[in-house]
Chains A and B, each alone.
Chain A
């Protein structure tokens, strides 16, 4: 079961919009961290994903385990949030 979801995004990232739209369509709540507005949190996104890119979607489960999905990857995103 999903406890919460955090998405790291930027203002200009088209793939970020797609991830957000997918979650909205599925009725899933999420917290957004916009790295243009909060550049100090870039290091956090990088540490979680190992990549200098967005979107980074962090799905935290009830047991506190985390699944980190880099980019717009429906094959991983869909089962992770279901």
Chain B
């Protein structure tokens, strides 16, 4: 289908470079659909900075997030996907073609897939912004090595918080895990955490809010929390804090466009993963209703690619007629 008349006109431009994006690119390029991926950060997305992924099918012993991301990239590039580093600033509907304003200039595409994923949310407490990268962190695989034999707090109770707590035990002397309500991580992860709790390496504080991160001489020295039932204030003397309290969608660049977002900012799509702007699709963690799983993102990437092919060919699947 490679019909580009200008170098900036592509059949498909995929915004984002995580598992959904790379999977879609594998599918579109195998169909000989000219595909460009524009990624602003790390190819592989959040998956690439996750230590071990245990719930992605086909890897009975788990797989390193970095290795999975690298394999997806290689597979997409093997079929001809082009990956450019840059940032999409806005998307505009010009009828048959869509216009993208990017940090590398203006580009055009017949169809667009938005797969920009999500980033870790902030807690929004005093000290969090002030001590960023000097005791406050959001990437254990990047920054954990700075905490050999140090005390840490991890904030959160979901899969990421527990997974990264387990990862950080290889460095830290002790970790206090502060969970605002109850632990929502999978049973498997909770079971994996148990030996560290028994050894006294990890202490879980259920029903404990994180209220303030306190520093001295430019570095974090303690975290203040409150037990939600008793109202009792707790102080944790620590060297660092790692925060994993959920995800926020990377959709800031869509503000003001005709692409509809839900109240949190995730992209609304129809059953064919098409957004309110015809010819623009969304898949993965950025989509409203996404389950925030790599396996789901991969599935949505494949689905979106097939729907984009139908769109480019100007018809829908016979089963949908």
Contacts and interface: CB of A to CB of B under 8 A. Distances in A.
Interface in A25-73: 35-36, 39, 42, 46, 50-54, 70, 72
Nearest to B147: A52
A1 B300 CA distance: 46
B134 interface: yes
B134 A14 contact: no
Nearest to B50: A14
Interface in A12-34: 12-18, 22
B153 to A, nearest CB: 15
Interface residues of B, number: 30
A67 B49 CA distance: 25
A70 B143 CA distance: 12
A54 B85 CA distance: 20
A15 B142 contact: yes
Contacts of B254: none
Contacts of B86: 74
A13 B41 CA distance: 13
Given A12-B51, A52-B135, A72 B41 contact: yes
Contacts of A14: 42, 44, 48-49, 65-66, 69, 141-142
A14 to B, nearest CB: 4
Contacts of A13: 49, 139, 141-142
B251 to A, nearest CB: 21
B142 to A, nearest CB: 4
Given A22-B85, A51-B133, A52-B135, A10 B142 contact: yes
Interface string B44-61: 100011010000000000
B133 A52 contact: yes
Interface residues of A, number: 22
Interface in B24-51: 41-44, 48-49, 51
B240 interface: yes
B47 to A, nearest CB: 9
B145 interface: yes
B141 A52 contact: no
B43 A18 contact: yes
B146 interface: yes
B309 interface: no
A50 B135 CA distance: 11
A54 B145 contact: yes
Contacts of B167: 12
A70 B69 CA distance: 22
Interface of B: 41-44, 48-49, 51, 64-66, 69-70, 85-86, 133-135, 137, 139, 141-148, 167, 218, 240
7 contacts: A12-B167, A17-B42, A51-B133, A52-B137, A52-B143, A70-B133, A74-B85
Which 6 pairs of residues, A with B, have the shortest CB-CB distance? A14-B48, A51-B133, A12-B141, A52-B146, A14-B49, A13-B142
Interface of A: 10, 12-18, 22, 35-36, 39, 42, 46, 50-54, 70, 72, 74
